Amino acid sequence: MNSSNLDHIFSEQGPLAETIPGYRIRRQQLEMAQAIEAAIKGNQQLVAEAGTGTGKTFAYLIPALLSGGKVIISTGTKTLQDQLFNRDLPAVRDALKVPITVAMLKGRANYVCHFHLERAMNEGRFISREDANYVHKIKAFAENSSTGDKSELTDVPENATIWPAVTSTRDNCMGQDCAYYKDCFVMDARKRALAADVIVVNHHLFFADVMLRDEGVAELLPSANTVIFDEAHQLPEVAGLFFGDDVSTSQLMELARDAHAEFITTAKDCLALPDATAGLEKAVRDFRLIFTYEGSRMPVQKALGLTNFLPAYALMQEKLKALSDVLESQAERDPAIENCWQRGLALQQKLNTWQAADNANLVRWVEVFTQSVQLHATPLSVAEGFGKQLNAQPRSWIFTSATLAVKSDFSHYLSQMGLEQATTGYWNSPFDYDQQALLYVPQGMPEPSSSIYTASVAAAALPVIQASGGRAFVLCTSLRAMREVHSLLKDAFETNGLEYPLLMQGDNSRTELLERFRKLGNAVLVGSQSFWEGVDVRGEALSAVIIDKLPFAPPDDPVLAARIDKMNSEGKNAFMEYQLPYAVITLKQGAGRLIRDEADRGVLMICDPRLISKHYGKRIWQSLPPFKRTRELADVESFFERNVLAE
């Protein structure tokens, strides 16, 4: 393959123009494809930022499919994974007429497990009446499905509480000892992936596997010639989850539940078993009760200072050991009991390791959820760990996203990921932002630390929402601000007789909320982190994106605090080298929701006065798309009169 071949493929007379409805030539797309082609040929690392509308998916798919090698494509979300597998890859394959086999591999929790489904039906213990109804639908699905992928069963919600009972985890999978091993959907998916030319995975799966050797990618990676990460801005955070050592109390509760199930089915005469499972469950619940509220993230020093933390932790370890001892005495009776015993031993090791962890590159911290407590040991840097993967053997690595650079400077991302050998490429969006969009920073806003700040955001947002006729996202940097803004807007709409439908993240699933937002056509959606990225609303339904404040990571985040301390102790400027680039990349994601195609028009409103008043503000807005800028509400109103409402 040579570049003239790419010139033809992307040309007006080429196969894409012939087969893809609405295809348009974009210079940036061709240049990006040429850079990726060169990286694949030379087994190089390429970090590529491509603005919204570049068509980066086709820019990497075409050279990848024409390369003749085995390709792993990793995406940020399962939604994007499904889109690639079901829509984009078949379209490119058909256009190029290449005989490529494609497979999709998801984490095991996405596939129905015959063993656990059978056991759940035999036990008949369900959290709700819905679950008892769902289990029969899942049984019928498992008998007729070729993949067992739960996303294909639309009759059962993805968040239904039945799913953990009918899928497997790394801990409770029986492997080759399972009676259903030959019919296993997970094993089938892995076999298809091993045989395919192109495999689509997601970031969590990729890193879970690289570290845990559990999900099937470990078998794929040695034979892969090219690895492509789409939405690559998410990698530092995802990699951090897997390069550390974590253990959750939910794993202990699952062990107790599974061990009790084995008592009912295969070890009814072992009366010590239900006592041991009940003892562990109580110890785990008591440990959770030490923490006053959910949603908190605290460094280990604060957790250790809580009354009863150490005795409750020790009791949990003691009850886990007691259960493991009982399981050991019964292990020969059945492979499932032996599996529980091995899990008990592994969890004892994890609890001991977390308690004793002493590594300058690890920060220990605790995260509290409604029902569980997660104990984390997170690396301050993934560069070294990931660097080993990069250089293990010759292959090309492609990292692409709409948000990787700060003012076209990639140094922050390169250092985070250990990409010392990488070349970089930067392609601006082909959109005419100067004509299509306006950046509005209101005057007279208080400092974000002010007690009246959120109320000021809602007050400043109201006339913009009126000018745009609803049709707005209000993106907040915290759940607390989101709820307060929603409440204030609700009151303001009633007071002013405004009848725009008002939606809020959490009222329904993200998919359902977006569907409603698009259909209503004049809605206002108030959201937090879930709506800052991966959301695509084209056309007039979304004409304003309002951002409450610059998205600096919360300073009380234990991992961030440890990273800042480490960088500052090394003589670096943690704010300029870490916190600011993080905020810029996150802000670019939020801003990217506004203009999704050539016909879109809209206003981006950033309420935070630091964008103007602070010395670093210029660096931030220069990293955003080149929208026209204003501080006058009248300019916003006339923009909507000219561009949106008049049409």
| pLDDT for the residue 647 | 47
Q: What is the DSSP string of 85-96?
A: IIIIHHHHHHHH
List pLDDT tens digits, range 140-178. 999 999 999 998 998 898 878 899 999 998 888 888 889
Query: Is domain 247-379 annotated with CATH 1.20.950?
Result: no
Residue range 390-418: mean pLDDT, rounded? 91
Closest among 224, 171, 176 to 201, alpha carbons compared: 224
| pLDDT for the residue 351 | 96
User: 605 is written with which tokens?
Assistant: 């409103």
Which residue type sits at 412? H
Give the whole-angstrom CA distance, residue 288 versus residue 373.
6
| pLDDT for the residue 212 | 62
Give the whole-angstrom CA distance, residue 547 versus residue 254.
40
Q: How many CB atoms lie within 10 A of CB 256?
A: 25
Q: Say if residue 137's pLDDT is above 50.
A: yes
Give the whole-angstrom CA distance, residue 193 versus residue 230.
19
* Fold annotation for 3-101+196-236+382-427: Rossmann fold (3.40.50)
Tell me, yes or no, if the two domains 247-379 and 433-643 fold the same way.
no
Closest among 434, 442, 432, 433 to 637, alpha carbons compared: 442
Give the whole-angstrom CA distance, residue 269 versus residue 474.
59
206 or 320: whose pLDDT is higher?
320
Q: Round the average pLDDT of the chain to a whole number and report it.
A: 91
Give the whole-angstrom CA distance, residue 414 versus residue 577.
12
Q: Say if residue 219's pLDDT is above 80.
A: no
> What architecture is domain 433-643?
3-Layer(aba) Sandwich (3.40)
306 pLDDT tier (thresholds 50, 70, 90) = very high
Q: Are 51 and 455 in contact (CB under 8 A)?
A: no
Q: Say if residue 4's pLDDT is above 70.
A: no
Helix 249-265 to helix 114-123 angle (10° resolution) is 70
Lowest-pLDDT range, 61-75, 240-254, 606-620? Answer: 240-254
Q: Are 120 and 164 in contact (CB under 8 A)?
A: no
Q: Which long-range contacts (CB under 8 A, 24 or more apart) does 131-139 make?
A: 131/160, 131/161, 131/162, 131/165, 134/160, 134/162, 135/162, 135/165, 135/166, 138/112, 138/162, 138/166
220 pLDDT tier (thresholds 50, 70, 90) = confident
| Residues paired with 376 in a beta bridge | 365
pLDDT-above-70 percentage for the chain: 98
Per-domain boundaries in the chain:
3-101+196-236+382-427, 108-186, 247-379, 433-643
Q: Give this prediction's pTM.
A: 0.88
List pLDDT tens digits, range 358-384. 788 889 999 999 889 999 999 888 898
